[in-house]
Chain A
Amino acid sequence: MSTLIHAQELTLARGGRCLVRDLDLQINTGECWAVLGPNGSGKTTLLKALAGLVAVPPGKITLCGRSLEQIGGRERARSIGLVLQQGQPGLHNSTLELVMSGHHPHRRHWWDTPGEYQAARDALREVGLDSQAEQDTQTLSGGELRRAEIARLLVQSPAIALLDEPFNHLDIGQQVGMIRLLRKHFVREDKALLLVSHDLNLATQVASHCLLLQGDGRWSAGATAELAAGAAFSELFQFPLHEYRGPNGSYWGIDWEG
């Protein structure tokens, strides 16, 4: 187990409001993280900072021991992948073309190779879009576009995969399928996975670690088993949550009568 990404004393602000103060976050290989927090608590800003889209002071984020801003764009893209919350389709480009763009940080040649096409088609098959390979991305549904972007992430194959609410357009069957797929590809001895989600149960059942962002600068991070408690979640969302015991752990829900 080694540290992939390490944020130290990282402070994030947006619109003059401090979202996260002095965050210390260490993501190691083989871990699966869930980021939880109310609306506007800085989850997306944190993901963009980790992926290098939002500038942070030098040395606050290190990737495999090297300061993030010293790493070139292509090299960074080989190590960190992010599926944005609002993905954009191309200009009438096919789904296959969208997935093929995931090869960009790895390629040294101008033209496409048969191997790259094969990898893209395999990724499309894994997300269940092989029959939509030639379809215009502007005609895909929200959920299909999201799955195509996950296929692009598989092709990009970064060491650490960040996903910003990847399941909010997916039906429950697709949610389970995508989680299994992401765990298979990224929760491994040399990779790690980090998801932002609003689904407490999905997050706590899947993630080995949780990061809770309060939105006022406070945060807590640690193993899911230690952090996940009804009191912590109730405080996080300022709302009483009821704990239900299931066969494989606890589920949190709303007591509508209470």
Chain B
Amino acid sequence: MSLKDSMDPRIEELLPFYVLDALTDEERELVESYLAEHPEARQQMNDLHSGASALPYGISPVEPPRQVKKALMARVTADAEARARSSAHTSRQPSRPLLGVMRGENILRTFTLGIATLAIVWVIILNTKISQLQNEIATLNNTLAAQSDSLEQIIANLPKAPPSNVITVSLKGTDIQPRAHGQLIADPEEQSAVLVISGLPKLEANRTYQVWLISGGTPVSVGLLAIDESGQGVVIVTSDESIGSFKTLAISVEPEGGSPQPTGEIVVASDL
């Protein structure tokens, strides 16, 4: 019996509108709970989804006027500055004095005296702080001037050296998944890199893709890779060793949660 024969006809009717994001909340919940209980129905959903996800690209792009970007970036920059100020203000907040338990008229008198005393102390502290900050600014200005000279020398030498250590390595699928391809974007001296993969099928819930870096024949697990409905996945891989110390990158199919060593089919393997 095929999946189409066995599928609940109500769900079958709803699936196209589910991938088009045009269901009511109630209908959406119905579909999602069905998909959760019937993983085999997800393939049909994925097939429909790949058609729906192409729709935005069928629209004619329209170049926006410059003032839209200008207004957006002004708003964003103001927000970023406000966040920075808020963060600095929070870190400078003095701890609130404990009032303790006071009753009657003494409360007001003590409170007023306390506030006055605190204000005087606060002004003294502020003056001292301002003086210290002025000294620090003067010192930093001197340091900046010295460092600017050094940086200028470094910049003068930049054309002789590559602008960045970041490299991009192309990755290819094996005979098992010949359509798979991707890129590893890495600084060889760093211990992490960004892996971008396309053309891999999404796996059942009980299996996962696992990424390995191999040097001298010993594979090291550097992360699990989730693939979306369109066959794409992005993961930041991390290792105890620098990325440049490895010779090969491979991706295998493993049981859910990953394996200590590769046990399943190798779907991507490329020299770094």
Q: Please say whether chains A and B are actual partners in one complex.
A: no
Interface residues of A (CB under 8 A from B): none
Interface residues of B (CB under 8 A from A): none
